[in-house]
Structure 1
Amino acid sequence: MSTVKVTPMMEQYLRVKEEYPGTLVFFRMGDFFELFFEDAQIAARELQITLTSRNPGAENPVPMCGMPHHAIDEYLRQLLDKGYKVALCDQVEDPKQAKGLVKREVTRVLTPGTVVEDINLDAKGHNFLGALYWDADLGGGLAWVDFSTGVWSGIQTKSESVLWQWLVKMDPRELLLTETQALPKGFEQWQARLSRYPQKSYFDERGARDKLLRAQAVPNLQTLDLDDKPALIRCCGALLTYLELTQKRDLGHLSPFIPLDLSATLLLDEVTERNLELFRTMDGRKGRGTLWQVLDQTQTPMGGRLLETRMHQPFKDLGSILPVQELVAYLHDGDGIREDLRRSLDTVYDLERLCTRIVVNRSTPKDFAALKASMGVLPRLRQALLELESPPPRLAALLRDWDNLDDVHGLLTRALADSLPPVITEGGLFRPGYDAALDELMDLTDHGEAALAGMLDRERAACNIPKLKLGYTKVFGYYFELSRAVAAEPPAHFIRRQTLVNAERYITEELKILEEKLLSASDQRKTREYQLFLALREEVAGHRARFMHMATILAELDFAQGLAHAARKWEWSRPELHDGLEIAIKGGRHPVVEAVQGRSGYIPNDLTLDDSGRVLLITGPNMAGKSTVLRQVALICILAQMGGFVPAAKARLGLCDRIFSRVGASDNLAMGQSTFMVEMTETARILRQAGKRSLVILDEIGRGTSTFDGLSLAWAVAEELVRRQGGIRTLFATHYHELTVLEDRLPGVRNYNIAIKEWKGDIVFLRRMVPGPADRSYGIEVARLAGVPASVVTRAKEILAVLERHAPGGAKRNDFISRQVSLPGLTKAPVSHKQPEEHEVLQALKKLNVNELSPLDALTLLHQWKAMAGLS
């Protein structure tokens, strides 16, 4: 770019571009935003718009593309969704008044993690910007902020692995790191979301403390519970620095920072959330097949985001769960109450994001209309809730804290017109009577001709000149015209302006003043409306804390009714929760499977975890439903600890502090990890972190290695879970039937199996879990059902028959297979394609003359051959 001869305007552009490397610069030129050089090439490719060039006939034409300034929102959305950052370089002075080059400045930097416009956001999902810092001495910190709502939080930990686990769990759209922070193996896919900055300017602890105190307006960090969290402080400082540089304004709209209290929530690591398919299916898809799709019956964006938070972080103590459960039960039983509440909430817009846009000056007139409509619902909703009989304590508490925001609603009702324009600068924002000066300007622009006609009528009557005319020219403006006969004695206040052959033209002071008002009224009206809009915005923005308070109340109501509506829709029941360890479920179902295939097609199951059986070994063939049973128990516990009902006829549940899940086989080839490595990594995490109040879900441990290795590992894992702290509550599904002997050898182990019925040579999956071990695996029958060719199935049955007849024991069976004896077709020809050498038993048999063999000799030979074949 430096070899290109540039104009002063292009020099201005290049200076801006140098200040914002790695950012697409949208450069305002009149009514268009233009991009140049590489930025233009990127934008043209990503947006599928025409790439042109500046000075196309020159030796080095400059690539460029652009779009009208009023139509950039959709283009910005596409670029942000693709992970690009955009700097808006706008004209900051009126081109009409500019002397020379119009002054331009970057007024805002848009990034994926800092957008506030609805077009770029998932209404019911958070949009986090994250910052992570790790130091072996200080520990690690991870902070995240949803700039669109102002909510932020974070954690500090001494474990680097925990830090990265929480990063995956919170899933920020952008992540800030120091220049030297290495990504762990397997996190290469995060490169596209990363922004690296110097530690001294972004992650400096002293600077971070100062920024926090200023942004949060607190005297010390103890107020924010941050004084003993140095790594987390650095992360907060990085977030504030980044937001100040990109948003070009103060950050007063951020809510008080609240560190996440890990001791108050049921911990679900990112592996468990993935395995249980809370938000995405195992193949990464959203929607159908996830718990979220079944559970989300909320009516407002705030309620949806609270549901997302509660699914990530269910409660852990009865004191937090029971008030929510009581409210959910009240709304579940009161169908009429719940439906009325749903109808009211359905008319409430996103209060959090609406007031954020107003505070950060990114609002449109329609944001104010939505805010006014939402506030109009509050008095009616409160009155309806006050009239309810015997409301639960939590609902009563919410009503005591209720704020109708009547004064703000009244202000917007008095101020705003019924139909608002899409943008501020078009006028038509305010209602007549709101501002006297604006009313006069509105009257002039809307009724200017009538004012002129009224003045003409008054002059005709006052001067007794019925034929007085009113006219207008671009040169002289408005005038009164008198014929030559009348003009000989004009009224005294008439001022001659122009003489014609047959007439004289005059003006008056009143006409001159009215003309000036009429000619400037349109511009003055827009200016006055803009001033009033700014004042109104400041007034409304000052009530942000009240809006956020009501958004919290409405979110909790919506969250509760959503759980109640889901429970009523899917016929769930209220669980009994206690502080013990027993888990007893009668008629339990998997909420997602049931929703997909229907209630009639799902077989409920009973299950009990208590002192007599803390570890349940579940056997049965593939496809029988072992994994489904495992998952449904974990999901039932999660739903209960959110305060909701559960898919079971009856459930008595001891609270969990953590739920671990190792379900299904999956590779992570990008990390260089096989299925077995992933399995062992997840198993290791469980064994290191599971405690007495944990619930562990294990499926097919040891399947990715040899039979003996896998069996040994599964056996040792089961023993460890039984041994630890009197037995950790565990559901252990396995295909190793040998493990079923543990029921007789270890206290606290019980066998269950998924029942199978054989009918006329076929197998029927009963999908019901019953006590006791499975009698066999039925693998060949499952293969047949899966469509394996009949010849393969038949041959497998023949081989299985030989194996079961000759080698019932595990060790003998393995040795038997390795020697490949008496199984025609199993012997593999060597690469040379030579005929394989006959076994010594076969050679001896060919040489034998049976006619010369006595019974004693025959018996002796049989013993010898058995030894030669390795079968003795």
Structure 2
Amino acid sequence: MLEQYLRFKEEHPGCLLFFRMGDFYELFFEDAEVVSRAVQIALTSRNPNDENPIPMCGMPHHAVEPYLSQLLDKGYKIAICDQIEDPKEAKGLVKRDVTRVLTPGTVVEDSNLRSKANNYLGAFYWDSAKDAGGIAWLDFSTGQWSGLYSRKEPELWQWMVKIDPSELLLPQGVKVPPQFNDLAGQVTAVAPGTFFDLAGARNRILEAQHAADLDSLGLQGKNELVRACGALLTYLDQTQKGEFGHLGEFRPLNLGKHLLLDEVTERNLEIFRRLDGRSGPGTLWQVMDRTMTPMGGRLLEARLRQPWRNLAPIEKTQECVAFLFERDRLRGDVRHALDSVYDLERLSTRIFLGRANPKDFIALRRSLSMLPRLHSLLAGEDLDPAPDLKRILAKWDAMDDLCALLDKALVDTPPPVITDGGLFRKGFDPVLDELIELNEHGEDRLKALHRAELAKNDIPKLKLGFNKVFGYFFEVSKAYKGQVPDHFIRRQTLVNSERYITPELKELEDKIISASEERKSLEYKLFQELREHLAKARSRFLFMADAIASLDYWQGLAEAARVNEWTRPVLHDGLEIEIEQGRHPVVEAAMGAANYIPGDLRMDQGRRILLITGPNMAGKSTVLRQVAIMTIMAQIGSFVPARSARIGLADRVFSRVGASDNLAQGHSTFMVEMTETARILRQAGKRSLVILDEIGRGTSTYDGLSLAWAVVEELSTRAGGSVRTLFATHYHELTGLEGKIDGLRNLNIAVKEWKGDIVFLRRLVPGPADRSYGIEVARLAGVPRPVVERAREILAELEEKSQDNQAKGAVDRASQTLLPGFGAPPIKIDRELCEHPIITQLTDLDVDGMTPIQALMLLNQWKDMIKD
């Protein structure tokens, strides 16, 4: 047995081997020590009296799921080695085999999954010789998979971070770039020749998709993406032993359909996680999620990750949301019905793969029982205002046949284990009914037979008895002198009696004794047949899962809009953004609507860059983020937190806010800030919305101010001057750019001084802030009073010196040509130097008319002239 164990262990390196022995799963050697520590179970020994005992631990097979869940959460991979023949029929050692390998990216059980989030297995491949690559990702629990082909390696890594796979397949030797090191813990290194082989990948994809060529799958000419898809299928083949026929149609990601949000923007806007990395309260997801089903929750997540960028799907969603928003009673009834609908996608997957337990079937039955109720609720309404809702209802499949089958078949509270019996109702199968009758009422049948023999034969004191040797028998006293019936067969003679059996008694006895095992065996067979019947209906389940997800998504957005008093925005193809009484949905949820002060904002061709000044704590970052968040909300079809909103569609939203570092990767706060800024400047396009907060604060004043100014200038001209930018800054000198840069306007967060204190009015008003109020903010934050007072003294001294310098003319502000707010001393040039040809050329130089390459060539020419 141990040789058998070690052979399977060698075939599955890196896995904990759960070895089935009777009613237990056992682990030995190092695996036993690892598991006993990880899940806190007793470590014993196979041969405790030997000099070198073999460590061992185990758990009952019917209670193994919680332990598997804990181990998978800790990142372990598990090989399940089952008995593949009946031990009663085995000759010698029971045959065993590894039936599947559990990994974090391939689990299907609810205990290992977040109900409203996808669980992705990802694969990454980059060909540096061709400068092209592809990523693919697959949710094994639902069968959905997709991929992306690109010639930009950073873009592929960015998307992989967004997808956040539980497990990522990389060719051996490939490392995750330092800036994306969050993925390092999910990496599984695999042999590139086996997993990423192009010919093998092509064949596997065509076989899995039942397709004749790659063209129909959108994969033609995308060999790197084909390799990534092939790696996923090869991994599934090795871990699931070929059981992945439930995969849906492969659909490559079409970036042209979606508003793009990179992983930095998702993090900075706290869409799914707060800046501290935690999920839940404080995120946009938590405020918006009013879905009732796992499918609806996953659809909301997908929409927030990939909002639409075209008007048509947005407006169709708005129509359905508005329809349910206006009908509180209908929406309440729909929510109540949806609350009883379980995860049809994942339930159907487990049924298809043969991994469903009785509890799953009961959940499925309850879910199907709600479909007619939902249909009747919607059918009673005029759905013309919501065409998509009407379309879904027209194709509605109530699945009455499957619901009736499950209702007829299964008891209300079945046992947790399939092989224990007690699953089926009476009346489902005649043979099973007989076995149940014998199993539960065998004694009554024996007594009935006894009474029948008494009535048929005049044998006084005919008794019914039982012993372990002869089983059931009829006992006739020696005092009876008559003839016993011919069908009585003598079995035992005693001093005072004779014991007989009859063919009918023997047959009934055999049935009673074997009824329990036969019942369990038949119920297991019927359960498998029921599973196979339901597995054939997987396409129907998936269709209704999509329908339920859409309905739940719409009602969830309507419920959130009603509860939070959001309004329907108007979207258009222009650049204008007009928001009246706008609020930040997450901040408002934390503070309470009564404590939140809404504000107005307008962006158009003449106000493409809004430069926002004001002290810390005044709310600059909140204003910036709420515009970006409202744009995202609007482009998933949601209502927005404002009295009214008119929003021009965006193709990308970029966000650079806050101050953070990444010391583990050697990146300072300023380095992270510049990296994120560089990405924005390289990728911002014609319809992009850019949110920038405090650019250049991590370096010296002059360096930071110069960078901030240069960034503003670049954004003002990029993509023909169509990039919309909200730029918050403490550099008051930048406010002098209004009137010098086309489309730039100053705004500030209003602050009022009252009796020595400052009051944040939280209002966005035109014009620059008059000063920074930094010391007052420090006082409000709790900085000790002596420090605050000393800071005020130092500030007064500095301001006095600044005024003295101005009076002495040390800085000629009239000659300022570089930075608003900063002067430069006059440059004294020697008379002989003025006659140098370089000075002559410099004086006549048309700087505005030069291209960068012309400037470089001229500098090189001047350099040669100086050498000469």
TM value normalised by structure 1 = 0.91
Question: Partner of 2:832 in structure 1?
Answer: none
Q: CA deviation at 1:138?
A: 5.8
User: Which segment is superposed worse, 403-412 or 627-636?
Assistant: 403-412
User: Which segment is superposed worse, 562-571 or 106-115?
Assistant: 106-115
8 A contact 1:216–1:252 mirrored in 2: no
Q: CA deviation at 1:186?
A: 3.3
Q: CA deviation at 1:94?
A: 2.3
Q: Give 2:248's match in structure 1, choosing from 244, 255, 264.
A: 255
Distance 1:191 1:41, change over 3 A: farther
Question: Partner of 1:216 in structure 2?
Answer: 209
8 A contact 2:268–2:655 mirrored in 1: yes
Question: Partner of 1:95 in structure 2?
Answer: 87
Question: Partner of 1:861 in structure 2?
Answer: none
8 A contact 1:365–1:423 mirrored in 2: yes
Question: Partner of 2:769 in structure 1?
Answer: 774
Structure 2 counterparts to residues 487-526 of structure 1, below 5 A:
489-526=483-520
Secondary structure in structure 2 of the residue aligned to 1:471: strand
Matches of 2:204 and 2:438, distance apart in 1:
50
Secondary structure in structure 1 of the residue aligned to 2:689: strand
Matches of 1:662 and 1:612, distance apart in 2:
23
Matches of 2:516 and 2:9, distance apart in 1:
37
Secondary structure in structure 1 of the residue aligned to 2:348: helix
Question: Partner of 2:850 in structure 1?
Answer: none
Distance 1:719 1:814, change over 3 A: farther
Matches of 2:185 and 2:260, distance apart in 1:
28
Matched, 1:713 2:704: no
Matched, 1:72 2:52: no
8 A contact 2:161–2:183 mirrored in 1: no
User: Which segment is superposed worse, 62-71 or 121-130?
Assistant: 62-71
Q: Give 1:108's match in structure 2, choosing from 90, 100, 105.
A: 100
Matches of 1:485 and 1:813, distance apart in 2:
144
Q: CA deviation at 1:658?
A: 0.4
Q: CA deviation at 1:780?
A: 1.1
Matched, 1:62 2:54: yes
Secondary structure in structure 2 of the residue aligned to 1:784: helix
Q: CA deviation at 1:390?
A: 4.1
Aligned-pair identity (%): 63
Matched, 1:757 2:757: no
Q: Give 2:666's match in structure 1, choosing from 663, 672, 679.
A: 672
Matches of 2:804 and 2:225, distance apart in 1:
57
Question: Partner of 1:865 in structure 2?
Answer: none
Matched, 1:165 2:180: no
Q: Give 1:430's match in structure 2, choosing from 417, 424, 443.
A: 424
Distance 1:487 1:474, change over 3 A: farther
8 A contact 1:134–1:181 mirrored in 2: no
Question: Partner of 1:358 in structure 2?
Answer: 351
Q: CA deviation at 1:135?
A: 0.9
Matches of 1:154 and 1:390, distance apart in 2:
36
Matched, 1:43 2:35: yes
Structure 2 counterparts to residues 96-495 of structure 1, below 5 A:
96-136=88-128, 137=130, 139-391=132-384, 392-486=386-480, 489-495=483-489
Matches of 2:804 and 2:449, distance apart in 1:
115
1:589-608 per-position Cα deviation (integer Å, ceiling 9, x unaligned): 00000000101111111111
8 A contact 2:615–2:774 mirrored in 1: yes
Q: CA deviation at 1:815?
A: 9.8
8 A contact 1:177–1:194 mirrored in 2: yes
Distance 1:788 1:38, change over 3 A: same
Q: CA deviation at 1:813?
A: 13
8 A contact 1:803–1:813 mirrored in 2: no
Matches of 1:422 and 1:56, distance apart in 2:
35
User: Which segment is superposed worse, 58-67 or 450-459?
Assistant: 58-67
Matches of 2:476 and 2:290, distance apart in 1:
76
Q: CA deviation at 1:301?
A: 0.6
Secondary structure in structure 1 of the residue aligned to 2:14: coil
8 A contact 1:727–1:748 mirrored in 2: no
Matched, 1:738 2:730: no
Matches of 1:596 and 1:86, distance apart in 2:
42
Matches of 1:691 and 1:202, distance apart in 2:
37
8 A contact 1:138–1:230 mirrored in 2: no
Matched, 1:747 2:742: yes
Distance 1:263 1:338, change over 3 A: same
Q: Give 1:17's match in structure 2, choosing from 4, 9, 24.
A: 9
Question: Partner of 2:684 in structure 1?
Answer: 690
Q: CA deviation at 1:762?
A: 1.1
8 A contact 2:579–2:642 mirrored in 1: yes
User: Which segment is superposed worse, 609-618 or 207-216?
Assistant: 207-216
Matches of 1:669 and 1:813, distance apart in 2:
46
8 A contact 1:38–1:63 mirrored in 2: yes
8 A contact 1:620–1:755 mirrored in 2: yes
Matches of 1:456 and 1:249, distance apart in 2:
56
Matches of 2:460 and 2:131, distance apart in 1:
93
1:118-167 per-position Cα deviation (integer Å, ceiling 9, x unaligned): 11111111111111111121611111111111111111111110111011
Secondary structure in structure 2 of the residue aligned to 1:383: helix
Matched, 1:797 2:792: yes
Distance 1:808 1:695, change over 3 A: farther
1:790-819 per-position Cα deviation (integer Å, ceiling 9, x unaligned): 222222222222222222599999999xxx
Question: Partner of 1:29 in structure 2?
Answer: 21
Q: CA deviation at 1:205?
A: 1.4
1:687-719 per-position Cα deviation (integer Å, ceiling 9, x unaligned): 000011000000000000100000000000000
Secondary structure in structure 2 of the residue aligned to 1:612: helix
Number of residues of Structure 1 aligned to a counterpart in Structure 2: 808
1:548-578 per-position Cα deviation (integer Å, ceiling 9, x unaligned): 1000000001011101100111111110010
Question: Partner of 1:642 in structure 2?
Answer: 636
Matched, 1:582 2:576: yes
Secondary structure in structure 2 of the residue aligned to 1:496: strand
Q: CA deviation at 1:389?
A: 2.4
Q: CA deviation at 1:249?
A: 3.4
1:12-52 per-position Cα deviation (integer Å, ceiling 9, x unaligned): 11111101111111112222222122112211221122223
Question: Partner of 1:600 in structure 2?
Answer: 594
Distance 1:813 1:327, change over 3 A: farther
Letter in 2 for 1:793: V
8 A contact 1:588–1:648 mirrored in 2: yes
Matches of 1:695 and 1:560, distance apart in 2:
26
Secondary structure in structure 1 of the residue aligned to 2:579: strand
Q: Give 1:788's match in structure 2, choosing from 777, 783, 788.
A: 783
User: Which segment is superposed worse, 10-19 or 787-796?
Assistant: 787-796
Question: Partner of 1:835 in structure 2?
Answer: none
1:363-403 per-position Cα deviation (integer Å, ceiling 9, x unaligned): 11111111111111111210110111244111101111211
> RMSD of the TM alignment (CA)?
1.7
Instruction: List alignment gaps of at least 5 residues for structure 1.
Output: 1-8, 817-872
Matches of 2:714 and 2:144, distance apart in 1:
42
Matches of 1:795 and 1:500, distance apart in 2:
116
1:439-475 per-position Cα deviation (integer Å, ceiling 9, x unaligned): 1111111111111111112222222224221111111
Letter in 1 for 2:141: S
Q: CA deviation at 1:784?
A: 1.4
Q: CA deviation at 1:520?
A: 0.9
8 A contact 2:383–2:389 mirrored in 1: no
Distance 1:93 1:809, change over 3 A: farther
User: Which segment is superposed worse, 177-186 or 255-264?
Assistant: 177-186
Matches of 1:186 and 1:298, distance apart in 2:
34
1:258-317 per-position Cα deviation (integer Å, ceiling 9, x unaligned): 111111111000000000000111001111111111111000111011111111111111
Matches of 1:271 and 1:117, distance apart in 2:
31
Letter in 2 for 1:115: V
